[in-house]
Amino acid sequence: MGEAHEFSPEGLEANFPVGLDLDSDGGQTATTIGEKVYVIGGSDDGAVSFGVRILDKSKGKWEIPMVLGMEPAPCRGYSAVLLNNDKILVLKSDSASDDCIWFLEVDTPFVKTQKKILESEVVAWSKGVKGDGSKPVVISGPSGVGKGTLINRLMDEYPSSFGFSVSHTTRAPRQKEKDGVHYHFTERSIMKKDIEDGKFLEFANVHGNLYGTSIEAVEVVTDSRKRCILDIDVQGARSVKASSLEVISIFICPPSFEELEKRLRGRGTETEEQIQKRLRNALAELEQGKSSGLFDHILVNDNLETCYANLKKILDLDGSTKAVCPSSESIKLPAGHSVSVMDQKVLIHCGKDEHGKASNSLFVLDTSSLKGGAPGRTRGLNVYAIDPFTERLNGLKQVEGPTIES
């Protein structure tokens, strides 16, 4: 965990004279990691935006990195603190409670991998979400096995707990499919460009078309505080496994190849040629799915009721645990806040409240159990309030029902 630092453009310019032309009216922070200075932000009419540039001190050169993930919306101010030498915690002032904690990943495993793939300087934004959240669920299996049927049942029974990751595809829509609901139907050239720009968590050529999960598709679901479900093929599942997104992966098998063919034909959505292609691919998918240790669970979808019951068991929905329900705690930071770091705890001193009055509020952001991160959200944030009059820092105590605004 790095030291919290108060940002001073003047001080920084004295230390790093190589053209560090930071806003004199603030709105920017600079965080140094080794030879690199990460400068975030810039203000325009009082609104701070979150552009990123990097000063490489060894080369005496500025670089504009590729920025992955959704950037935070502009706000009136923020503070930044380095965590674990690989990410910068950004605390936005006067922002909605579910939009004030962000991470700019600058040297995490995901960013390191992307730097290699994209052969460019890369940083990645990841919004912090409170509470443990639940790992996204990857559901894979050959075409026609019943993945969509199972997912639809789950979403119908638990509409507030699960959200579907809407993939992009270059295949044509089927009769009842809606753009933006079942898929984002797109053109190959557009999708390829977005892939090159690092917007996809995974993508694959499946049955002659391009399919992929955008980082945004997963973020949108996480932001709605639901557990994300991805319906993707085996190649996609392998890419996700290799990424830093932690998931539960489930492979669905048919009871027999004949039954698979029957279901695929019975659905009546593909031409004979497409059915033949999907069946040919199913042989390889079944072999890979069953044998490679790629999946955490394998379910046989023979009887639909039994298979659905087993799926619910895997997802702890068989009555033994509560439904996925996010914490309702929230936080809103005034412009005058400051931060300091102790062990893995970030102390947020509120300074002034939203009416400009002095405030003694002190919040603790415990970063010891962070999970996930880019691509996607950073889960496991624990925020609580402490009363500075009654508590000493070595005796931090959680206050019930924090006074943090909801």
Ligand X SMILES: Nc1nc2c(ncn2[C@@H]2O[C@H](COP(=O)(O)O)[C@@H](O)[C@H]2O)c(=O)[nH]1
Ligand Y SMILES: Nc1ncnc2c1ncn2[C@@H]1O[C@H](COP(=O)(O)OP(=O)(O)OP(=O)(O)O)[C@@H](O)[C@H]1O
Q: Which of 53, 227, 238, 278 is catalytic?
A: 278
> Which string of x and - marks every residue 233-252 that binds ligand X (by CB under 6 A)?
x-xx----------------
Answer yes or no whether residue 274 interacts with ligand Y by CB under 6 A: no
Cα 395 to the chain's mean position, in Å?
A: 33
Least Cβ distance, residue 264 to ligand X (angstroms): 9
Answer yes or no whether residue 144 interacts with ligand Y by CB under 6 A: yes
Answer yes or no whether residue 213 interacts with ligand X by CB under 6 A: yes
3-state DSSP call for residue 289?
helix
Return the C-alpha torsion angle 327, 379, 336, 355, nearest 10: -20
Answer yes or no whether residue 153 interacts with ligand Y by CB under 6 A: no
Answer yes or no whether residue 263 interacts with ligand Y by CB under 6 A: yes
Q: Which is nearer to ligand X, 206 or 311 (CB)?
A: 206
Count the residues in the chain: 406
Least Cβ distance, residue 224 to ligand Y (angstroms): 23
Phi and psi at residue 134, in whole multiples of 5°? -130, 150
Answer yes or no whether residue 312 interacts with ligand Y by CB under 6 A: no
140: closest CA among 265, 229, 268, 218? 229
Least Cβ distance, residue 176 to ligand X (angstroms): 12
Give all strands (DSSP E) within 24-116, no chain letters: 29-33, 36-44, 47-56, 61-63, 66-68, 78-83, 87-92, 101-105
Specify whether 278 is catalytic: yes
Q: Which is nearer to ligand X, 65 or 236 (CB)?
A: 236
Least Cβ distance, residue 376 to ligand Y (angstroms): 23
Measured distance CA(217)–CA(122) in Å, rounded: 20
Answer yes or no whether residue 186 interacts with ligand X by CB under 6 A: no
- Peptide bond before residue 375 is cis, with ω within 30 degrees of 0: yes
Residues that bind ligand X in the complex, under the rule CB under 6 A:
143, 147, 167, 171, 202, 204, 206-207, 211-213, 231-233, 235-236
Catalytic residues: 174, 267, 278
